[in-house]
Amino acid sequence: MPELPEVETVVRDLRPLLCGQCLAAVRTSRHQLRQPWKRAWVSAIVGKRVQAIRRRGKWIILDLESSSHLLVHLGMTGRFTVVESKIPKAAHTHVVFKLNEGGQELRFADIRRFGSVRYCATADELNLLLGGKLGPEPWEMDPSDWSQRLRSSRRCLKAILLDQSVIAGVGNIYADESLFVARLAPKQLGTRTTREQADRLLSAIVQVLDHAIEARGSSIRNYVGGNGERGEYQNEFLAYGRTGEPCQNCGRAIACIRLAGRATHYCPHCQRSRSQRSEVRSQRSEVRY
C-alpha cells in the first residue's frame, strides 16, 4: 500500500502538471471504487481549475476553484498519473479527467479498487472527512506530545505507528524501517517507552521518510509516481521484506512475526525490548559455582 513517501512523490510529480489546469471533462468506468462515484459530481467538477495539490497523511487533495476539493486515496494498488490523451487507457482505469491544455489526461487506475476519488464541495466537508482521522504529520509532531501519545497506549509500538490518528502517513514498510533505525522492539508497549526512546523513534521516522521521499518511495508491486516513474527505496530496505537475511548492524538473521495484523520485520538482537535487555544483564551477572 502506498504510504507517505509514495503519496508525497505523486503530489510533487503532479503539481507542475496540474496547477492552473482546468478539468474539462470527467469519465468513469462502470466499476465502483471503495467510495462510490456520484453522477452529480461531474457537473460540479467540470470547468473548475486546479489551484493547488497537496498531501495530508496518505491522502491527496486537489484544491479547486470555489473552495471545493478532490480527495484521492491510492488504496493498495492505485495509480494517479498524467498521460497523453492519445495513449490507450491501461486496464483498471476507473476515473479520467480531461485537462484543457496539452492534450493530456489525469487518470486514476486501481486493480484492486480499494482506492477512492471523491468530490468535496466545501472545506468543511473535507475537514469533516479527514479532521478526526489523522494525527500530526511526523515533521510537525511535538516531541512532548509524541512521548505522551506513546506512554498513554498499552498497544505495541508497531500498532501505534500504524494508527493514523496518532501519527499521519506511516504504514507497514516505514514502521518497520523506523523501528529498526531507532533500535526499538516492535513488540514493546507504548507504556514502557521512555522519553529518550520516544525521541529516538520520532527522529528515526523523520529520517526514514525523508530518505524515502528522496528515493521517490518504494515500488514493490504497482506503485509509480505521478509521472509514471518507479521508486527506488525498496533497494535500501534495512528490515522490511528481508526475512532471513543478515542484519546490517550485527549480521544475525532478520525475523518476521505478525503484529497488529501485519507482517513485521526486525532484528531480534538489535531490537530487543527493555525486559529482554534486563534479562540478559541479569543472566550475565549471575554468580556460577
Active-site residue list: 2-3, 58, 262
The set of cell numbers assigned to 236 is: 535500501
Instruction: Give the 3-state secondary structure of 1-51.
Output: CCCHHHHHHHHHHHHHHHCCCEEEEEEECCCCCCCCCCCHHHHHHCCCEEE
Q: What are phi and psi of 222, to 5 degrees?
A: -105, -10
Strand partners, 28: 95
Q: What contacts 24+ positions apart, CB below 8 Å, involve 274-277?
A: 274/188, 274/192, 275/192, 276/185
The set of cell numbers assigned to 51 is: 489551484
C-alpha angle with apex 175: 169 to 181, nearest 5 degrees? 125
Please name which of 160, 258, 216 lies closest in space to residue 4, comparing C-alpha atoms.
216
CA torsion sign for 111, 71, 220, 266 is negative
Say how far apart CA 12 and CA 63 lie, in whole Å: 14
Instruction: Give the E-state strand segments of the chain in sequence order.
Output: 23-28, 50-56, 59-64, 69-73, 78-84, 93-99, 104-110, 116-120, 255-259, 262-266
Neighbour order of strands in the sheet with 69-73? 50-56, 59-64, 69-73, 116-120
Say how far apart CA 70 and CA 60 lie, in whole Å: 8
C-alpha angle with apex 282: 201 to 187, nearest 5 degrees? 30
